[in-house]
Amino acid sequence: MTGLPALAVTADERHGVTVAARDLAAATQAATGLRLAVPAGLLLGEQPPRRAHLHFTDRLWAGSPEEAAAVVERIATRTAVTVTLHDVPQPSDGPRNLPRRTDCYARVAAAARGVVVNSRHEAAHLAEAGIVPRTLGVVPLPVTPAPGGAPAPGGSDIAVLGFFYPGKGHAEVLDAVTGLPASLTVLGGASAGHENDLRVFTEQAAARGVAVDVTGFVPEADLIERCRAVAVPVVAHRHFSASGSLATWIAAGRRPVVVESRYTREMAALRPGTVRLAGDLAPAIAAALADPASTWLAPDAVTRPHLDDTAAAYLRWWTGDIAW
Listed by start position, the domains of the chain span: 6-142+306-320, 157-295
- Answer yes or no: same fold for 6-142+306-320 and 157-295: yes
The torsion region of residue 179 among left (phi > 0), alpha (psi -120 to 50) and beta comes to left
Question: Phi and psi for 214 in degrees, rounded to 5?
Answer: -105, 115
CA distance 154 to 97: 42
| Rounded Cα–Cα distance for residues 187 and 180 (Å) | 20
Tell me the CA distances in angstroms from 234 to 57, 90, 255, 256, 282, one per residue in order.
24, 21, 9, 5, 11
Average pLDDT of the chain?
Answer: 93
pLDDT computed for residue 28 by the predictor:
98
pLDDT attached to residue 192? 80
SS3 55: strand
For residue 128, the one-letter residue type is: E
Q: Which CATH architecture has domain 157-295?
A: 3-Layer(aba) Sandwich (3.40)
Query: Residues near 120 by Cβ (< 8 Å), separated by ≥ 6?
Result: 138, 266
pLDDT at 150: 66
Per the document, the length of the chain is 324
Q: What is the CA radius of gyration of the chain?
A: 20
What integer pLDDT is reported at residue 92 of this predicted model? 76
CA dihedral for 102, 104, 105, 111, sign (positive or negative): positive
Instruction: Give dist(CA 44, CA 11) in Å, integer.
Output: 14
CA gap 302, 290 in Å, rounded: 24
Q: What is the pLDDT of residue 152?
A: 66
Is residue 138 classed as helix, strand or coil in its secondary structure? strand
Q: Does domain 6-142+306-320 have CATH number 3.40.640.10?
A: no
Please spell the DSSP secondary structure of 185-212, one letter per residue: EEES-BPTT-HHHHHHHHHHHHHTT--E
Hey, is 153 helix, strand or coil?
Answer: coil
Residue ranges of the chain whose pLDDT lies below 50: none
Q: Are 257 and 281 in contact (CB under 8 A)?
A: yes
Q: Do residues 114 and 133 lie in contact, with contact meaning Cβ atoms separated by under 8 Å?
A: yes
* CA dist., res. 311 & res. 50, Å (int): 21
